[in-house]
Structure 1
Amino acid sequence: MHSEEKLMSKKKPAFPINHFLNEYLIEHSRNIKIPIFYEDLLRFQGSVVVYDKNDEDTLWVRVYYSDFDREEIDLSLKKVYNILHSNGNEDNIQYLNIDAVDYCTFGNSKPFRVKVRNVLNDNYTYFYVKKTDASRVYGLELEHILSPYNLNFLVYKDTLIEEHIAGIPGDTFIKEILPNCSEPEKSQIAKEFVKFNERCMIRLLGDMRSYNYVIVPTHDFDSVVYKIRAIDFDQQCFEGKFKVYYPQFFKENFPMVKLVGEKLLENSIEQYKMEERSIVAKRILSSEDRIDELVFCMKNDEISTNDNIEKLKMQVYEFTRDISFKKSKNMGEVLESALDFVRRNYEDVSTR
């Protein structure tokens, strides 16, 4: 299940939002005018390193602005928070405080993380400001439609606003929490990783290394149930290697893969894969019109290289023996074939 080979190619470029995707975003209330852009946040005067509770560098820096810029930026970020989380009503602005603006120099998107606090009760939340990338927007929208989780995000021109996805970072969980989990909890986590692995593969979401997903614990009666959620969507339908779309092939996930081998029998693994395929197929069928619209945008877009498209379509064809993959001309058609393959298999089984 595990591979040491280098999976990822060189850094992925950001792709612009084309006309069709922009129209889709407007139709589904994802494209809303906002008072600040990603570029505005780059005007910081200086920064300090942000350390975690163990005094280790988090790869985020806390930025600060001149007094003149700070006032304008704070007010604009409060307005963005209200647009993202409500109807943009500004009655509560006086009760909001921008506690911190952090900047990440690691990874593709170089995001800003904004901490917003309600001064009346000290509750706080985060949202992210990033440069728009069509791959990421497709990834967010597919996650919203095909996963168990709704996602809240906005796009305006070259700026993307995303709400924070709460959870324990996968790498932290594997290192600090997993070893102390009970045996039944480990079995449940193994099952969840199998399902997560399958879900990423079906919708072609790549690069799910342990720091690109979170573990979400939920208390249920006298036990804790763990779910796995993707938090990074840059690698939607870009890479040419089929293995990139399987979390199991990243060395960072080896402890999870080992857990699956220790806790689950082969027929259980197949059962959980089939369950996940069925759940995704039901979501495809229940959101057919919206998915058709999104796939149409992707088929009329350029979100990968010709080399990656050729490589991926042939590798998926070898895996499925479905001729439609071989005929695909772009990543949108590869994804369309993948979703059709899952839906057809589900319908074939359910009509027997």
Structure 2
Amino acid sequence: MDNNAPIFKKQYYPINDILYGYLEKYKRLTKTNVFYDDLLRFQGSVVVYDKEGEDTLWVRTYYNEYETIEINNSLKRIYTLLHSDGDERNLQFLNVDHIDFCTFGNSKPFRIKIRNILNDNYTHFYIKKADASRIFGLELEDILSPNRINYLVFKDTLIEEHIVGIPGDVFLDKHLKNCTESEKAQIAKEFVKFNERCMIGLLGDMRSYNFVVIPIYDYDHIVFKIRAIDFDQQCYEGNFKLYKPHLFKENFPFYQLVNDKLKENSIEQYQNEERSILVKRLVGSEERLNDLLTAMKSMELSPKEKLEQLKMDTYKFTLDINFKKAKSMGEIIEAALNFMKRNYKSDNQ
């Protein structure tokens, strides 16, 4: 285990014209009347506590009466853009219950709770500063993982749907002890696959509070899935170890599950399965992926010293000269995906 892997606050990378062109082509752009910076003008706030009375590091915000009406109407319209292509016929039945602001982490998001007053169902979405790193992370997750991502961008504002699941740290603390031995083995399998996706896609800082565990009922047993919820550290860190979730001390119980429940040949089998599936996804999204890589290669996504370190780390890991030749984080990702294509042939090829 590598317990000495600090993550420092990363710098913000604005969207450039090439990335805007990509977002327009793939229907990720929208128009709204409220920006991230507008929500920062709250007049007051109170701390949000969980059911156990612990500080959640979120605060509930309050605005003056005039701004509240305007902001709430805009947020309800954003909800319809995200979930029903802007259909406003049921707008009158939507209510903005809460606007919470996170005081922890890089993106400082706002979490919006929207409730349907007819049936009391509710959902959340997030408004954040539109950082290019995070957008590339969202797109790579949508292309490379089994999970789809729903988000929209308006100028420098990012709107993201809520990803349902149990935060990894909460799962370890409150739920793992209640799992059967076969369920623990299944979680270990999923963690191996999750670890492989993060490493190949260079998604960093996947500590337990940055991913969720999703229990799914299937006939007479529960299937567990693991998916990322934080994409701020996409292609940013120089140390290759920071793209391997099993090396974070916060994830040690998952790492231990893998060691306790899986034999070495099973771990290798699950890694190969994930690589093979990943290659099939790459082949099925070739045009979109090439467009995304073009946008990634057009901009700086990390300080030069981190780029140089990651080039050498990945070269030593793969012995592929293309990593050494890379001139940007986009080229490192391209080298990684091409390495996968060469070494793990898809059944469709």
What TM-score range do you get, normalising by the shorter chain?
over 0.9
Are residue 103 (structure 1) and residue 95 (structure 2) matched? no
Who is 2:168 aligned against? 170
Who is 1:35 aligned against? 33
Who is 1:222 aligned against? 220
SS in 2 for 1:77: helix
Q: Deviations over 1:291-348 (max 9, x none)?
A: 000001101111111101110010000000001001001100000000001111122x
TM-score, with structure 2 as normaliser: 0.98
Q: Are the equivalent residues in 2 in contact too, given 1:7–1:243 (CA < 8 A)?
A: no
Q: Deviations over 1:219-258 (max 9, x none)?
A: 0111111000100000000000001100011110000001
Who is 1:293 aligned against? 291
Q: Deviations over 1:126-162 (max 9, x none)?
A: 0000001000000001111111011100011110000
SS in 2 for 1:101: strand
Q: CA deviation at 1:6?
A: 2.4
Instruction: Give, in whole Å, the separation in 1 of the partners of 2:171 and 2:274.
Output: 23
Q: CA deviation at 1:33?
A: 1.1
Who is 1:181 aligned against? 179
SS in 2 for 1:79: helix
Are residue 4 (structure 1) and residue 8 (structure 2) matched? no
Instruction: Give, in whole Å, the separation in 2 of the partners of 1:32 and 1:231.
Output: 22
Q: Which amino acid aligns with 1:237?
A: C
Q: CA deviation at 1:7?
A: 4.0
Who is 2:307 aligned against? 309
Q: Deviations over 1:50-86 (max 9, x none)?
A: 0111110000000111111100000000000011111
Instruction: Give, in whole Å, the separation in 2 of the partners of 1:296 and 1:341.
Output: 18
Are residue 67 (structure 1) and residue 65 (structure 2) matched? yes
Are residue 19 (structure 1) and residue 17 (structure 2) matched? yes
Q: 1:91–1:243: structure 2 CA closer, same or farther, 3 Å change rule?
A: same
Instruction: Give, in whole Å, the separation in 1 of the partners of 2:314 and 2:37.
Output: 39
Who is 1:231 aligned against? 229
Q: Which amino acid aligns with 2:177?
A: P
Who is 1:270 aligned against? 268
Are residue 323 (structure 1) and residue 321 (structure 2) matched? yes
TM-score, with structure 1 as normaliser: 0.98
Are residue 121 (structure 1) and residue 119 (structure 2) matched? yes
Who is 1:253 aligned against? 251
Q: CA deviation at 1:350?
A: 5.6
Q: CA deviation at 1:34?
A: 1.4
Q: Are the equivalent residues in 1 in contact too, given 2:187–2:224 (CA < 8 A)?
A: yes
Q: 1:323–1:351: structure 2 CA closer, same or farther, 3 Å change rule?
A: farther
Instruction: Give, in whole Å, the separation in 2 of the partners of 1:207 and 1:87.
Output: 33
Q: Which amino acid aligns with 1:6?
A: A
Instruction: Give, in whole Å, the separation in 2 of the partners of 1:34 and 1:340.
Output: 38
Q: 1:95–1:242: structure 2 CA closer, same or farther, 3 Å change rule?
A: same
| Count of residue correspondences | 349
SS in 2 for 1:150: coil
Q: CA deviation at 1:194?
A: 0.3
Are residue 93 (structure 1) and residue 83 (structure 2) matched? no
Aligned-residue CA RMSD in angstroms? Answer: 1.2
Q: Are the equivalent residues in 1 in contact too, given 2:280–2:348 (CA < 8 A)?
A: no
Q: Deviations over 1:155-209 (max 9, x none)?
A: 1111000000000000000111001100000000000000000000010000000
Instruction: Give, in whole Å, the separation in 1 of the partners of 2:160 and 2:268.
Output: 34
Matching residue within 211, 214, 231 for 1:213: 211
Instruction: Give, in whole Å, the separation in 2 of the partners of 1:34 and 1:283.
Output: 33
Q: Which amino acid aligns with 2:311?
A: K
SS in 1 for 2:115: strand
Matching residue within 45, 48, 51 for 2:49: 51
Q: Deviating runs (4+, > 3 A) in structure 1?
A: 349-352
Identity of paired residues, percent?
61
Q: Are the equivalent residues in 2 in contact too, given 1:314–1:326 (CA < 8 A)?
A: yes
Q: For 1:115-154, list aligned pairs within 5 A.
A: 115-154=113-152
Structure 2 portions without partners, runs of 5+: none
Q: CA deviation at 1:91?
A: 1.3
Q: CA deviation at 1:351?
A: 9.9
Q: Deviations over 1:96-143 (max 9, x none)?
A: 000000000100000000000000100100000000100000000111
Q: Which amino acid aligns with 2:72?
A: D
SS in 2 for 1:184: helix
SS in 1 for 2:175: helix
Q: Are the equivalent residues in 1 in contact too, given 2:191–2:254 (CA < 8 A)?
A: yes
Structure 1 portions without partners, runs of 5+: none
Q: Which amino acid aligns with 2:3?
A: E
